[in-house]
Structure 1
Amino acid sequence: MTTRATETPGLLLRHPDGQTFRFDPGALCLELLATGGPGEYARFEVLTGPRALAAWAAESRLPPGLRLAADDAGAAAARGLRDALWGVMAARAHGAAPAPAGLAAVNAAAAVPPLVPLIAADGTRAWAPGEAPVAALLSTVARDAVDLLTGPHAHRVRECATHNCALLFVDTSRPGRRRWCSMERCGNRHKVRTHRARRTDDPTA
């Protein structure tokens, strides 16, 4: 489950083990990956239908107020793009070449007209009136992926350093030393393991 945290950047993810933690992957396209995925990631599935897709869009880093004309086919298309993005982004994180089929799926989604933003009367960013088609949402996500993978932070797309966590993020920090999906979860677990190992090595500690 994903929930937008209003007070700080990032999503609130609920792991199947019951823990809830904050995760900011640094890009819209990587937020989509937190909804599930192919193969072993299917147990994290969130995009179960049109309502779930609309909820994800509202919880994402997109400006609020988007009205989405979602249906079952649109939710299936979102899952398809997400699964393709998993392969493309994971390949980037590991320095490998992405599968041509994955790139083709991302490029095909990006070729569709994206969501149409506008400036509201109060000066904030808003969306064009009416319901937006799912294809426009997916185009916006795919174009975000194109910008990320062809931009200055492409080499900073990384997988969480914890051996049993595959969450992907882009490190946009100035020092570029981010290792964990979340300090609340994997970063803290690493600290605990390190502390226990030191106590084991030093009986007097």
Structure 2
Amino acid sequence: MNYEHAFVCGNPALDFAATLRARRTVRFEMFATPDRLDAWFIESGLVDTIAPADEADVEQAKETREAIYALVAARQFGQEYDEEALSRLNGAARKPPATPQLSQAGRRTEATAEQALSTVARQTVELLSGPDVPLMKECGNPECTRIYIDRSRGMRRQWCGMESCGNKFKAAAYRARKKSTSGAADG
């Protein structure tokens, strides 16, 4: 099970919200199957093993993700929280979270999808009530709708990640400069 989800937002709650890609254009759903949801929880590092999710878990995750995205966007833009989104997030956060255990081999976290989702919801509560709120920015790629934490010097970061969005724009800008330079030389 390796789907290589992207974790570029600087916070698991923001990475979770970013699993619906390109919200303003051709949406791409990362949680298309229970296996994809399981993979995200493991690849995120929240859990080491997870009981296999089912379709109901996927629907719960999608609904919670959309609540997280709505709350993050509202907080980022200084708007009031949507009451339904608050209720959904807080309901997920009230469930038992994934709990790490210590064994002879070290730390290990086993969870159900509901426990892992509760952990993400609790991280969202911490994020939106914590010191990183002023550092949240939306990616400069107009097709990307990821919100990330900008910890760069001077808060000058423009992209959620260089590999995912920044390189595309830098390459396009380079091609445009090269084309205008060659066009000027021809004239």
Which is further off, 79-88 or 97-106?
Answer: 97-106
- Per-residue deviation at 1:39? 6.5
Question: 2 CA distance for matches of 1:81 and 1:66?
Answer: 21
Task: Specify the code of the residue in structure 2 equivalent to 1:62.
Answer: L
Which gives a bigger RCO, structure 1 or 2 (Cα 8 Å, sep 6+)?
A: 2
Note if contact 1:58-1:66 (Cα within 8 Å) is conserved in structure 2. yes
SS at match of 2:120: helix
> Is 2:128 aligned against 1:146?
no
User: CA, structure 1 residues 80+42, in 2 after alignment: closer, same or farther (shift >3 Å)?
Assistant: farther
- TM-score normalised by structure 1 residue count: 0.75
- Per-residue deviation at 1:135? 1.9
User: CA, structure 1 residues 163+69, in 2 after alignment: closer, same or farther (shift >3 Å)?
Assistant: closer
Of the three residues 86, 94, 97, the one matched with 1:114 is: 97
> Is 2:163 aligned against 1:180?
no
Report % sequence identity: 36
Note if contact 1:92-1:157 (Cα within 8 Å) is conserved in structure 2. no
> Is 2:15 aligned against 1:31?
yes
Q: For residue 15 of structure 1, what is the aligned residue in structure 2?
A: none
Note if contact 1:93-1:156 (Cα within 8 Å) is conserved in structure 2. no
Task: Specify the code of the residue in structure 1 equivalent to 2:53.
Answer: A
- Per-residue deviation at 1:188? 2.0
Of the three residues 160, 163, 167, the one matched with 2:139 is: 160
Higher helix share: 2
Note if contact 2:50-2:113 (Cα within 8 Å) is conserved in structure 1. no
> Is 2:88 aligned against 1:105?
yes
Q: For residue 108 of structure 2, what is the aligned residue in structure 1?
A: 126
> Is 2:67 aligned against 1:67?
no
The number of equivalent residue pairs is 183
- TM-score normalised by structure 2 residue count: 0.82
Structure 2 unaligned spans of 5+: none
Question: 1 CA distance for matches of 2:70 and 2:177?
Answer: 37
